[in-house]
Amino acid sequence: MLVVKLTPRFIAEHLLCPEGKTRIEMCCAETPGLYIEVRATSERQRTYYLRDKDVNGKTCHQKVGRMIDLSLADARKQARALRVEITLGADPRGQATAQKGVLTFSEFVE
């Protein structure tokens, strides 16, 4: 895990997965918890994540979005908003898991 000052120029020029590694994480020095994941299999499809701790102290990784969908500034805004929600007691991963357990209409009818 490398902490760097993420800028659009740095991302465009220096964000590549080194040979021999399957993935790397570049952490943002300005926004705590925000990082970009680069995979060797798809180096151009980089993904923003937020690393934080849940109420039990377990480290959690919440996907913020893909780089092709979000600018760095938007990813920082969303990461800050997610961090505020988590601090106030929300559990984004738990909400996503709960939604997967909800029956669809066709499942209900069957």
DSSP letters, 30-72, are: SSTTEEEEEETTEEEEEEEEEEEE-TTS-EEEEEEEETTT--H
User: Is residue 101 predicted with pLDDT exceeding 60?
Assistant: yes
DSSP 25: E
Count of beta carbons in the 10 Å neighbourhood of residue 107: 8
pLDDT attached to residue 78: 93
pLDDT beyond 80 at 91: no
SS3 28: strand
* 61 CA to centre of own chain: 6
Instruction: Name the average pLDDT for the chain.
Output: 83
Q: What does the alpha-carbon distance between residue 43 and residue 37 come to, in Å, rounded to a whole number?
A: 9
Q: Which fold has domain 2-109?
A: Double Stranded RNA Binding Domain (3.30.160)
Residue whose entry in the numeric block shows the structure tokens 């902490």: 3
pLDDT at 80 over 70: yes
User: Across the chain, how many H-helices and E-strands are there?
Assistant: 4, 5
pLDDT for residue 96: 56
